[in-house]
Amino acid sequence: MELNRSYELETSDIRRRDRRGSAADRKPVAELRPIHRVASNLHAAWDDLVANASEPNVFLEPWFLEPGLQYFCTDPDQHLFLLWAGEPGHSQLLGLLPIGQTNRFGRWRVTHIQNWLHHNSFLGTPLVRQGFEEKFWAALLNYLDNVKWPGFLHINGLTIGGMLDKSMRKVCASQGRRCDLVAEEARALLKSDLEPEAYYSATVRSKKRKELRRQANRLSELGDVRFAQHDDDTSLDQWTNEFLALERNGWKGENGSALDCNPETRAFFADVLKGAAAKGQLERHDVRLDGQPIAMLVNFLSSPGSFSFKTTFDEAYARFSPGVLLQHENLNILKNPDIQWMDSCAAEGHPMIDSLWSGRRFIGRFSLELSGMARKATFRGVRLGEGIMAQIKGREAPTDGKGNT
């Protein structure tokens, strides 16, 4: 099947409306656009979608996604699924999700369809205009039911309990298709009506707070210690280079996982910081000793949410916990009236941030059944295999809520 096309839902009805009605009367139109055809003329509609999204996701905003595609997407089979209010490119954008075929499902060689993420993208929740959540999932599933891609649909990194999770399950239930939560993780979330210091006192044990005060005092004895927050692009290139150097000098540099260890990740990091700054969505923090950074932090803002993207510290000063001291300063985000929460983007059970933030955000992976006997057989075979592996490992396998694995 030719994938470089739009799929008109209820095509005959749309054409009738074209003759007698306005674009606002049309049924949504789905488009699967190859990654190499993502053009700048999409940006106005894309930005409008971001501003009206049901759930914020900076990792799918153009300033973040496009550099990711440029540096990390080498698979020509990746596409953008776009849902339009009417004619593609000439109407309101209702939803967006990068998606394509992959031949790996965990350890297994199973060809299926999956939303596209990379190692520095920490959320896969699609961008969907508020109020169109169910229409988005219905259109996506209807589209995929009618293309010749094999296997099932796997959605990685979806916020559990959000509007998009609830609407996805509702649409699948109404269509009689399996929609299984196959894995989940809880990561630290900062969300509170308390002032920063009140939250700090309520969350962090008094013994720990006393120890951090002692460490801050000992650090100040070494020289001039200053904390700073930057909300613009002032000296951004220098700051970026300092962050990259600081991270590379630590354990990440030793094992080759620092951003500066690879030209693509280095360029990507610089580009997304510039892009976020240009949109007014970048927040940088640092703590310096005699002018030299010993801990640095990058946050991205997307009202009503925010995302703590990257942090690093000088391991020579580890005994003073400069990264934790900087996170204490980061609690000032609670004063921002436009921001209701901050996602840590950290792994479940992270020893540092989990001890400082009391909230938890649950992120899941879902497998959705598509039409066709072969595709249903693949879906059920994989789910059965996952259930067997869970039993072997002595853990409970997530189910579809009806006891099915």
Provide the pLDDT for residue 396: 56
Residue range 198-229, pLDDT digits in tens? 999 999 999 999 999 999 999 999 999 999 99
Q: By three-state DSSP, how is residue 103 classified? A: coil
Helix (H), strand (E) at residue 268:
helix 263-278
Provide the pLDDT for residue 25: 54
Measured between alpha carbons, how far apart are the two ends of the chain, in Å? 32
| Amino acid at position 399, single letter | T
Helices within 6-158 (DSSP H only): 11-20, 43-51, 62-72, 133-145
Tell me: cis bond preceding 304? Omega within 30 of 0 counts: yes
Q: By three-state DSSP, how is residue 128 classified? A: strand
Q: Max Cα separation, the chain? A: 77
Reported as a pLDDT band with limits 50, 70 and 90, residue 45 is very high
Q: By three-state DSSP, how is residue 191 classified? A: coil
Instruction: Find all residues with CB under 8 Å of 15, minimum gap 6, and list them.
Output: none
Structure tokens at 17: 């409306």
Q: What residue ranges in 303-400 does DSSP mark as E strands?
A: 305-313, 342-343, 359-368
Q: How many CB atoms lie within 10 A of CB 241?
A: 13
Residue range 50-86, pLDDT digits in tens? 999 999 999 999 999 999 999 999 888 899 999 999 9
In the chain, list all ranges with CATH 3.40.630.30: 5-186+363-392, 192-340
Residue range 232-281, pLDDT digits in tens? 999 999 999 999 999 999 999 999 999 999 999 999 999 999 999 999 99
What fold characterizes domain 5-186+363-392? Aminopeptidase (3.40.630)
Q: By three-state DSSP, how is residue 28 classified? A: coil
Provide the pLDDT for residue 386: 84
Q: By three-state DSSP, how is residue 356 classified? A: coil
Quick check: 71 and 24 in contact, CB under 8 A?
A: no
Q: By three-state DSSP, how is residue 111 classified? A: coil
Residue range 122-165, pLDDT digits in tens? 999 999 999 999 999 999 999 999 998 999 999 999 999 999 99
Output phi, psi for 197, to 5 deg.
-70, -35
Long-range Cβ pairs for the range 349-352 (8 Å, 24+): 350/187, 350/188, 352/323, 352/324, 352/327
Number of H helices, E strands in the chain: 12, 14
Residue range 286-325, pLDDT digits in tens? 999 999 999 999 999 999 999 999 999 999 999 999 999 9
Structure tokens at 282: 């970048």
Provide the pLDDT for residue 2: 39
Instruction: Find all residues with CB under 8 Å of 135, minimum gap 6, and list them.
Output: 28, 83, 94
What fold characterizes domain 192-340? Aminopeptidase (3.40.630)
Q: By three-state DSSP, how is residue 93 classified? A: strand
Output phi, psi for 21, to 5 deg.
-135, 180
